[in-house]
Amino acid sequence: MTKIRQEQLADQITHYGMARQAIMNGNFDVWQRGTSVALIDSTVTYQADRWLDYVGKDGGTLPTLTRSRQNLTPGSVQNAFYLSRLTTNGAGTSLGVNSWGYYQQKIEHGVRSLCGSGKKVTVSFRASSDIATKRIGVTLMQYYGSGGSPSAAEFILSTPITLTSTPTEYTVTFTTNTLSGKTFGTNNDDYIGLRFYYMWGTTFGNTYVQTGVTVETFVGAGNIDIAQVQLCSGDVALPFQPKSFEEELRACQRYYEKSYNYEIAPATATTLGAYYSSIHTAYLLSDGHVKFSITKRTTPTVTLYSSNGTTSGVGSEYNNASTFVADRAISVSGNIGNNGMWAGGTAGNFTTTAFPNGSFMRFHWVADAEL
């Protein structure tokens, strides 16, 4: 299909529709959790919003792995300023046949909206690696949700791609599986999982990457870079159209939101953005209600932090004497909804001796409703 025809087709499909582009934060503009994190074996790790890393060594030893945001050279990639980088200090040793490593986004309700017999979706992205002969695998997962007796997840595989040191645009078209006879879970959490595998053992790879594929370690020290990811309905990779930062941030906050200023990572010692409330009794705050900016996908998991950066602690300060009392525990157990929460203290933590009239609390919060 010619470029002119692609642009005409793009103009006919709404910029905001899932069929036009289903990936959130595919331009890697939004990083609420911070801009660098070390990956840990068998631990799901989010850093760029909506994107997760998951590595498993199945024995042996993983290399040191870091996911980070990197600036692109201005003008080097049209309509993009950042890329997402995985850095490894080596190949890893004695990784098992069921070892794995992938970067994934879960597209909420993507199965019901984009999949079906004979239907196609096309993934496009830019990628490169300074590790010689480094391969990645691109896989689509049809997940029918949880709750009740949903159909088992299905994996649609493709041929692995050998990256080069030159950033290159790649496209992969998948034919999705039929929905006829399938059962969706009762928890309303079906999704398409778009996975970029960057490491796999032989047994794991034959199931989730490509039948007959050979083992792929991290190969050696270096970087694996990815940028401008999108998933379009049909067999055409439409021109990449970035959304504004505000649009992407608000969309991501349906799944994750924090009280901290945008550029401050959670658990940082700071009062900037902290929630303040005066103390009402020995365990209640006079105004403990926090309203989220965006309604969450489901009831979120809330983590509280003190202004010192301590998890599940708060700080208190006298209005009159400015005396700081660190890390008095509070909780939101049983008081969390999709639109907000109510925080209260643990009985006895806020006695009138330690906190006379005029004292107030301050705390930070994170609300996580990821799929």
Q: Is residue 70 within 8 Å of residue 227, measured between CB atoms?
A: no
Give DSSP secondary structure letters for 229-287: EEEEESS--PPP-PPPHHHHHHHHTTTEEESS-TTSPTT----TT-EEEEB-SSS-BTT
Lowest mean pLDDT: which of 95-99, 220-224, 244-248, 286-290? 286-290
Task: Report the phi/psi class of residue 187: left, alpha or beta, with left for phi > 0 and alpha for psi in -120 to 50.
Answer: alpha
Whether residues 131 and 148 fall in one domain: yes
Rounded average pLDDT over 276-305: 82
Whether residues 137 and 97 fall in one domain: yes
For the chain, what is the domain count? Answer: 2
Residue after which a domain boundary falls, among 203, 223, 245? 245
Q: Is 76 or 200 the better-scoring residue by pLDDT?
A: 200
Q: Give me the chain's average pLDDT, please.
A: 90
- Per the listing, tokens 């709750």 go with 147
Share of the chain above pLDDT 70, in %: 87
Whether residues 17 and 150 fall in one domain: yes
Which H or E run contains 87? strand 82-88
Please report which confidence band the pLDDT of residue 286 belongs to, taking 50, 70 and 90 as the band edges.
low
CA 362 remoteness from chain centre: 28
Q: At residue 244, does pLDDT exceed 80?
A: yes
Could you give the residue ranges of the DSSP H alpha helices within the chain?
Answer: 3-12, 110-114, 202-208, 245-252
Q: At residue 344, does pLDDT exceed 80?
A: no
Whether residues 46 and 184 fall in one domain: yes
Cα 163 from Cα 135, distance rounded (Å):
6
The β-bridge partners of 64 are none
Lowest mean pLDDT: which of 35-44, 62-71, 177-186, 310-319? 310-319
Q: pLDDT tens across 73-93, in order? A: 998 999 999 999 999 999 999
100-108 vs 51-56, strand pairing mode = antiparallel
Whether residues 284 and 230 fall in one domain: no
pLDDT of residue 349: 64
Please report which confidence band the pLDDT of residue 249 belongs to, taking 50, 70 and 90 as the band edges.
very high
Please report which confidence band the pLDDT of residue 329 belongs to, taking 50, 70 and 90 as the band edges.
confident
Whether residues 267 and 240 fall in one domain: no
pLDDT of residue 15: 47
Whether residues 170 and 128 fall in one domain: yes
Rounded average pLDDT over 344-369: 75
Task: Name the nearest CA neighbour of 330 among 353, 352, 303.
Answer: 303
pLDDT of residue 311: 83
Residue after which a domain boundary falls, among 200, 216, 245? 245
Residue after which a domain boundary falls, among 228, 245, 262? 245
Rounded average pLDDT over 169-189: 98
Q: Is residue 178 within 8 Å of residue 117, measured between CB atoms?
A: yes
Whether residues 321 and 172 fall in one domain: no
Rounded average pLDDT over 109-113: 97
Q: Is 20 or 333 the better-scoring residue by pLDDT?
A: 20
pLDDT of residue 240: 95
Contacts of 289 (CB under 8 A, 6+ apart): 340, 341, 342, 343
Cα 209 from Cα 192, distance rounded (Å):
16
Rounded average pLDDT over 200-215: 98
Instruction: Tell me the whole-structure pTM to 2 decimals.
Output: 0.92
45-46 vs 51-56, strand pairing mode = antiparallel
Whether residues 285 and 240 fall in one domain: no
Q: Is residue 93 within 8 Å of residue 218, measured between CB atoms?
A: no
Task: Name the nearest CA neighbour of 274 among 309, 321, 302.
Answer: 309
Rounded average pLDDT over 182-208: 98
Q: Is residue 149 within 8 Å of residue 186, measured between CB atoms?
A: no
Lowest mean pLDDT: which of 176-180, 242-246, 247-251, 275-279? 275-279
Cα 217 from Cα 92, distance rounded (Å):
7
Cα 109 from Cα 144, distance rounded (Å):
9
Tell me which long-range contacts 38-41 makes (C-beta under 8 A, separation of at least 24): 38/64, 38/65, 38/66, 39/65, 39/66, 39/67
Cα 105 from Cα 226, distance rounded (Å):
13
Q: Is 18 or 262 the better-scoring residue by pLDDT?
A: 262
Q: Is 170 or 328 the better-scoring residue by pLDDT?
A: 170
Whether residues 297 and 237 fall in one domain: no
Please report which confidence band the pLDDT of residue 197 belongs to, taking 50, 70 and 90 as the band edges.
very high
Rounded average pLDDT over 266-278: 89
What's 371's domain CATH number?
Answer: 2.60.40
Whether residues 174 and 225 fall in one domain: yes
Whether residues 178 and 269 fall in one domain: no
Q: Is residue 50 within 8 Å of residue 44, measured between CB atoms?
A: no
Domain residues for the domain of 100 are: 3-245
What's 226's domain CATH number?
Answer: 2.60.120.260
Strand, helix or coil at 307?
Answer: coil
